């Protein structure tokens, strides 16, 4: 059983909508990550938080806005998305940034219409 949960599991939204994805980890980890996974493409790292502080923003468009209120919770706020943003959004956590194993949540399947 994964110690990382994500809600919702599926989301369909229009381009003018605002929605948020939620991730929670129950592992006591200090680092959390947002990834985008598109079909037949490598996982794309979007954001990294370590001890609630953002340490990485890999040139992600501003229509994606992360929030990390504490080490256990991570949000991804979405607004005015494009159809090409449709993908699986995965959250992961690790004990630290240099820890070798990341634990992934089940993902949110996002469809932008």
Partner 1 sequence: GQNIDQPTEMTATEGAIVQINCTYQTSGFNGLFWYQQHAGEAPTFLSYNVLDGLEEKGRFSSFLSRSKGYSYLLLKELQMKDSASYLCAVRDSNYQLIWGAGTKLIIKP
Contact footprint for partner 1 (CB under 8 A): 2, 4, 40-45, 48, 56, 90, 97-98, 100-107
Closest separation between CB of residue 31 and partner 1, Å? 10
Phi–psi pair at 68, nearest 5 degrees:
-130, 90
- CA atoms within 13 Å, Cβ hemisphere of 4: 24
3-state secondary structure of 24: strand
Phi–psi pair at 15, nearest 5 degrees:
-70, -20
Closest separation between CB of residue 79 and partner 1, Å? 26
Beta bridge partners of 44: 36
Closest separation between CB of residue 62 and partner 1, Å? 21
Whichever of 13 and 97 has its CB closer to partner 1, that residue is: 97
Whichever of 18 and 51 has its CB closer to partner 1, that residue is: 51
């Amino acid at each position: 059983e994964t110690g990382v949960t994500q809600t919702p599991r599926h989301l369909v939204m229009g381009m003018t909508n605002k929605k948020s994805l939620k991730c929670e980890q129950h592992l006591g980890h200090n680092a959390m990550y947002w990834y985008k996974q598109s079909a037949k493409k490598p996982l794309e790292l979007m954001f990294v938080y370590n001890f609630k502080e953002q340490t990485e923003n890999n040139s992600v468009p501003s229509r994606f806005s992360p929030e990390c209120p504490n080490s256990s919770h991570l949000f991804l706020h979405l607004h005015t998305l494009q159809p090409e943003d449709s993908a699986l959004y995965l959250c992961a956590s690790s004990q630290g940034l240099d820890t070798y194993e990341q634990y992934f949540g089940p993902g949110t399947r996002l469809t932008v219409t």
